[in-house]
Chain A
Amino acid sequence: MVTKLKIDGVKCIYCGGCTSVCPVTALTLKEIYIDIDQDTCTQCNACVKFCPVDAISLVQIEGQK
């Protein structure tokens, strides 16, 4: 089991807010989608709390390291 940050592309309105609250610059707004650097992300939850449309979550993925 491994925890990863996931963005729901159906919900995301590419407002860019998550990138500005991320303390470690793991998120980049690339025009109309968010690029996640999973290795840099510390899973601090700031972006999850910020998102105005609840598009971000930390999810458990099975069978992956």
Chain B
Amino acid sequence: MSGETRDVLGHYMEQQLRKHEPWDVIVVGAGPGGSIAARDCARQGLKTLVIDKRQELGTPVRCGEGLGQVWIKIAGLEYDPSWCLQEMRGAAITLHNGEEIVIETENRGYIIERKEFEKRLAEHAIAEGATYIVKTLVNGVIMDEQGCVAGIKCKNMEGEFEVKAKLVIAADGVDSQIARFAGIRTHVPVTEVDTGFQYYMTNMKIKHPNLIHLFIGNDVAPRGYVWIFPKADDKANVGIGITGWHEKTPKWYLDKFINEHPEYFENASIAELNGGCCPVTNPIKKPYAAGLLVVGDAAHMVNAIHGGGIGNAMEAGRIAATVAKEAVEANDFSEGFLKLYNDRFLEIRGNQLNRVVKVRKFFEKLSDADIESLHSFFKGKENDVLTFSEGDKLKTFASLFARNPRLAVIAAKTLLTG
């Protein structure tokens, strides 16, 4: 054979990459953060390209799929039966001694179908004018002479490409590398991530089909919890998240739990299996650099108590899109200008997420017995558990817990710091 290369693959993806180059915005990652950012950018008239490495958006799922209705509103979305599955009206928390605490709340939520959800979000963004490319790995950023991010490098079956943009939004999730390419440290210490494992099971017997079920206790899930999130009356995501390293894997603990609870699982079976990683730490201090904004899990914008991050990612995506529009109008992509993004994020959500980290640190120090005595403070005021876990009124709670000397010390060291 001669050295000639056969052109057999076509160039449609490359054409799409080049359609509006230089782009106003390139979004890396078509998860909830990326697609909401892209929708809002495109809606404001910005030329927007979204690149994702996956060949099918929405899979593999790495999520328990719980989403509060407030987040749906914040994201500018509406109820959609294709992805809003079972309605949740609260939580049933089972302590290590078997005692069950039921919390019903006004703030309802859904267990969603992420495989559909992420496709819908992409469709919304495309309808607003965004261009999408899948099965394309972004493996570098273009830096201009001033050290400003000026586009991305990527690779797919058609070849390797450099694509220019005024602004890059890194919404590349917890396995984020884009920000690292631009010099921002995003790796999470292994002591500050939840390692998660989950089965999707059907033919279960679910005690409360409209409540999320949480099971805590050091034998059940060390520094974490087991969850049952019902997706229908007899189907659920059954998962576990534990923090740090333990002798046994999360899968081991989850399998044990399932074996110990035939009342749920006797006739059930596994139809899907997945897992993942949640940073349960503070959002990164500087989720921006010249020419770059970092959104969602990539910037650790996760609730450190329950590991939920879909809503935060979408909210951050919206904030990023407004700043993107202002930056394009001002033609200013400097770090000084893009700092605006973090200022707004902190005000709207970041400060709260930082307080939630304190609550997490508080919980991490509690023994099973402490949790029981903590429970006595919340008897009859179960909704306060939610207020506390959202990081609100920390001082009030700390003085409440002060009636128990051990809890007082722990609260002083965690809730009342800096």
Contacts and interface: CB of A to CB of B under 8 A. Distances in A.
Interface in A38-62: 46, 49-54
Q: Most chain-B Cβ atoms within 10 A of its Cβ — which of A14, A20, A23, A30?
A: A20
Contacts of A54: 249, 251
Contacts of A53: 197, 249, 251, 275
Contacts of B279: 20
Contact of B187 (A15, A22, A28, A30): A22
B115 interface: no
A25 interface: yes
Given A13-B275, A17-B276, A46-B190, A52 B174 contact: no
Contact of B62 (A16, A22, A28, A46): A16
B193 A13 contact: no
Contacts, number: 86
B147 interface: no
Interface string A1-26: 00000000000011111011111010
B175 A19 contact: yes
Interface residues of B, number: 33
A20 B187 CA distance: 5
B273 interface: yes
Q: Contact size class for A? A: 20 to 34
Given A15-B277, A16-B173, A52 B137 contact: no
Contacts of B137: 28, 30-31
Given A17-B275, A21-B277, A31-B53, A52 B177 contact: no
Given A49-B245, A52-B250, A53-B197, A19 B177 contact: yes
A50 B195 contact: yes
Contact of A20 (B188, B196, B274): B188
B135 interface: yes
A31 B173 contact: no
Interface in B189-217: 189-190, 193, 195-197
Interface string B18-52: 00000000000000000000000000000000000
A36 interface: no
B195 A17 contact: yes
B54 interface: yes
A50 B189 CA distance: 10
Contacts of A31: 53-55, 135, 137
Nearest to B189: A21
B176 interface: yes
B262 interface: no
Nearest to A24: B187
A21 B197 CA distance: 17
A15 B275 contact: yes
A13 to B, nearest CB: 5
A29 B251 contact: no
Q: Most chain-A Cβ atoms within 10 A of its Cβ — which of B173, B175, B186, B245?
A: B175
Given A17-B195, A52-B195, A52-B197, 5 more contacts: A17-B276, A21-B277, A23-B187, A50-B277, A53-B275
29 contacts: A13-B60, A13-B197, A13-B273, A15-B274, A15-B276, A16-B173, A16-B175, A17-B174, A17-B276, A20-B175, A20-B187, A20-B279, A21-B189, A21-B190, A25-B177, A28-B137, A28-B175, A30-B137, A31-B54, A31-B55, A32-B60, A46-B189, A50-B190, A50-B193, A52-B249, A52-B250, A52-B251, A54-B249, A54-B251
